Amino acid sequence: MANAEPTIGMQQEATAEPTRKGSRRIAVLLGVAALAYVLDLVSKIWVVTSLEGHDPIDVFGQYLRLEAIRNAGAAFGFGQGMTIVFTIIATSVIFVIARIARKLYSVPWAIALGLLLGGAFGNLTDRVFRAPGFLEGHVVDFIAPAHFAVFNLADSAIVCGGILIVLLSFKGLDPDGTVHKD
C-alpha cells in the first residue's frame, strides 16, 4: 500500500507536466500576439492623431520616412478594392493559428505564430473599424523606406513571423516540439 501512493502521485505529476508545458507555449503565443497588436495599435493611433495631414518626418534623410497613408489593398498597393478578401484571409489565419495552438509545445513556433496572430489582428482591426466602413476599412501604413512599399508594425510582425516559420521548417522543428529530418 505504501508503494501505491507514491506511484499515483508520480502519475499525476507526469500527466500534469505536459499540460503545464502546453499552457506555457500558449501563454507565449498570446503574449507575443498581444505585444505585437498593442504596439501596432498604439503606433497607428499616434500616426492618425499626429502625422496624418502633416508633412512626412525624415528619420534617416530620404532613406526612411514616417508618412501616413491609408491602404485599401495589400503590400505594394496590390488588390485595391479587395478589402473584403483581405479581411477573410486575416480571419482565416486567426482560425488556423487557433487550431495549431491546441498542439503547440514549441517556444519558437509560439513566437512565430504570436507574431502572425498579432499582425493579423492589427490589420484586421483597421479593415473592420476604419473608414470608409465596416469590413472595408483602409489600413494605416506609415513606415516608408525609399524605393519600397509603405508598411506598418502589423505588417512587420507578419513578415517576421513568416520568416521564422520558414526557418523553423527548414530546421525540421514542428509546432508540437518534435524534430524531423526529412
All three cell numbers of 123, joined, read 490589420
Amino acid at 91: T
Q: Are the CB atoms for 117 and 95 separated by under 8 Å?
A: no
Q: Are the CB atoms for 104 and 25 separated by under 8 Å?
A: yes
Given 40, 58, 141, 182, which residue is catalytic?
141
Could you give the count of Cα atoms lying within 13 Å of 72 in the half-sphere of its Cβ? 9
141 is catalytic: yes
Given 40, 58, 126, 155, which residue is catalytic?
155
With vertex at residue 97, the alpha carbon angle to CA 69 and CA 175, rounded to the nearest 5 degrees, is 125
Q: Helix H segments across the chain?
A: 4-46, 83-101, 107-129, 153-171
* CA–CA gap between residue 35 and residue 37 (Å, rounded): 5
* CA–CA gap between residue 65 and residue 96 (Å, rounded): 35
* CA–CA gap between residue 151 and residue 172 (Å, rounded): 31
58 is catalytic: no
Residues with catalytic annotation?
141, 155
